[in-house]
Amino acid sequence: MSGIILEIDGRKFEASEGMTILQAAQKLGIAIPTLCHHEKLEPYGACRICTVEAEIRGWTKLVAACLYPVEPNLIVRTRSEKIDRIRKTILELLLAHAPDSTQLKELAKEYGADRDRFEKEASFCIHCGLCVRYCAEIKKKNAVGFVDRGTRREISFIPEIASKECWNCKECFPLCPTSALQAAYVLTEALASSLHSFVHEG
């Protein structure tokens, strides 16, 4: 088997074709932080916390480790001053949405991110897409999806599907790094039941 030789943090590694930098690093036991990554799901590249420096033919660029495929003679640096700075800013931006997420708080401690740097916009959702993708790719139920765009983008359950499928599943709940998903679910449930009683009483 022809392996692809690359270097991660100064250590040589023989990767197979189609592997991503993240997978190679995990094989080497090098930790790269991730938020939107899940091994059962397709790589998504939403959170950008896995940003690493990739040097190829003398050029260094910043890439998302969970998406970037390995290539011969690639030199990867998973920690550097620049990367730590980028991860810190990303975390600060995410913390403006979900200031009390344990996962974010732990990373914030490691990278010295200040949770109060940006004005709070407590939507609690960091758009990692884990719930949406898990429901679509693994469960194939599509009960939850994204709506709207830009700063107004949010997750939204389809009540008709959720009322049938979600009660016995809820497998997406523990995936959520911020608990925003549970809030959205409870809200949908409350709206659905009030609508239900409205229809029956009205």
Partner 1 sequence: MDNEKIDKIIDKHHCEASSLIQVLLEIQSENHWLPKEALERVSERLEVPLTRIQHIATFYKAFSLVPKGRHEIHICMGTACHVRGATRILDTVQDLTGIKPGETDSNLKFSLQTVNCLGCCALGPVMEVDGKHHGKIAPANVADVLKKYD
What is the binding site for partner 1 (CB under 8 A)? Answer: 132, 135-136, 142-149, 156, 158, 161
| Closest separation in Å from C-beta 200 to partner 1 | 20
| Closest separation in Å from C-beta 156 to partner 1 | 7
Contact 184, 157 (CB under 8 A): yes
| Closest separation in Å from C-beta 127 to partner 1 | 12
- Residue 95 tokens read as 């913390």
| Closest separation in Å from C-beta 172 to partner 1 | 13
- Residue 152 tokens read as 């107004």
Q: Give the SS3 label for residue 51.
A: strand
Q: Which is nearer to partner 1, 62 or 187 (CB)?
A: 187
Q: Which is nearer to partner 1, 99 or 159 (CB)?
A: 159
Q: Which is nearer to partner 1, 119 or 148 (CB)?
A: 148
| CA distances in angstroms from 116 to 56, 113, 119, 122, listed in the order given | 37, 9, 7, 12
H-only helix segments in the chain: 21-28, 81-97, 102-111, 130-133, 159-165, 180-201
- Residue 101 tokens read as 């997420």
Backbone conformation region of residue 8, classed left if phi is above 0, alpha if psi is from -120 to 50, else beta: beta
Q: Give the SS3 label for residue 68.
A: coil
| Closest separation in Å from C-beta 196 to partner 1 | 17
Q: Which is nearer to partner 1, 42 or 116 (CB)?
A: 42
Q: Which is nearer to partner 1, 39 or 148 (CB)?
A: 148
Residue pointed to by tokens 């599509």: 142
